[in-house]
Amino acid sequence: MSRPKGTPAVWQGGTVWLTGLPSAGKTTIATHLAELLRSGGHRVQVLDGDEARAALSAELGFSKEDRDTNVRRIGYVAGLLAEHGITALVPVIAPYAPSRAAVRDMHAARGVPYLEVHVATPVEICAERDVKSLYARQAAGEISGLTGADDPYEEPVDPDLRVHTQHQTVGESVRQVCALLTARGLS
Ligand code: ADP
C-alpha cells in the first residue's frame, strides 16, 4: 500500500528472540536481518548478548539464577522498545525455558508481539565454528559453565520457528526468519 508523500511509516514493533547455543548463528542472523529490515524503513535495535550483559547485568555471573535474571532484564528492555514501534532483535542464548516463557508473558501483558526463533544448530557444528574459541577453552579446562558443553540448554519445545543453519547459507536463514516476520505482520 502506498503512503502519501512525506508521511512517516508507522510499523508495528515486536521482539524476535533468537535462542540457541554459542556459535549457533544468532548474532549473524540478527545482524543481517537488521540490515534487511532497516533497508525497508523499519526501526530496528539489536540487543547484543555481550553488550546487554555488560550494560545491564555486569554484577551477575552464569549461575542458573543469574542467567535467568539477565534474560528477564533484556526481555524487559526489548519489550519497551517493541512497545514503541521498534523491532527488537535479541540474539541471546537464554538457556532456560521458564525465563524465556517469562519474557513471552511480559510481552503478552503489554500486548506486544513476541516471536521465539530457535537457532537449532547442533552442538558439534557449533563447536567446529567456535567463533569465540569458547568450546576449545572449555575442552582445555580453561573455562567451565559453557552452555551446550558443560552447562544446560533447554531446547524450546514449541518455538515460532526453528532454523537449521547447518543446512543453509546465512542468506537462507535470514530469509526464513524474515518470512516469519512477514507472516506475523512485523515486516
Ligand atoms: P552466536 O551469535 O549464535 O554465538 P555467531 O552468529 O556469532 O553465533 O556465529 C555463527 C557463525 O556461523 C558465523 O561465523 C557464521 O558465518 C556461521 N554460519 C554459517 N552458516 C550460517 C547460517 N546459515 N546462519 C548463521 N550463521 C551461519
> Model's pTM, two decimal places?
0.95
In a domain, 110, yes or no: yes
Taking the C-alpha atoms of residue 115 and residue 39, their distance in angstroms, rounded to an integer, is: 21
CATH number of the domain at 114, please. Answer: 3.40.50.300
Angle at alpha carbon of residue 138, lines to 137 and 144, rounded to 5°: 125
Total domain count, the chain: 1
Taking the C-alpha atoms of residue 91 and residue 26, their distance in angstroms, rounded to an integer, is: 5
| Any atom of ligand 1 within 6 Å of the Cβ of 26 | yes
**Pocket perturbation via mutation, ligand 1, pick of 129, 134, 164, 172 by most ligand atoms within 8 A of CB:** 129
| Any atom of ligand 1 within 6 Å of the Cβ of 39 | no
Domain that includes residue 63, residue range = 14-182
Residue 26 CA, ligand 1 centroid: distance in Å: 6
pLDDT tens digits, one per residue of 117-167: 999 999 999 999 999 999 999 999 999 999 999 999 999 999 999 999 999
Nine cell digits for residue 153: 540448554
pLDDT tops 60 at residue 1:
no
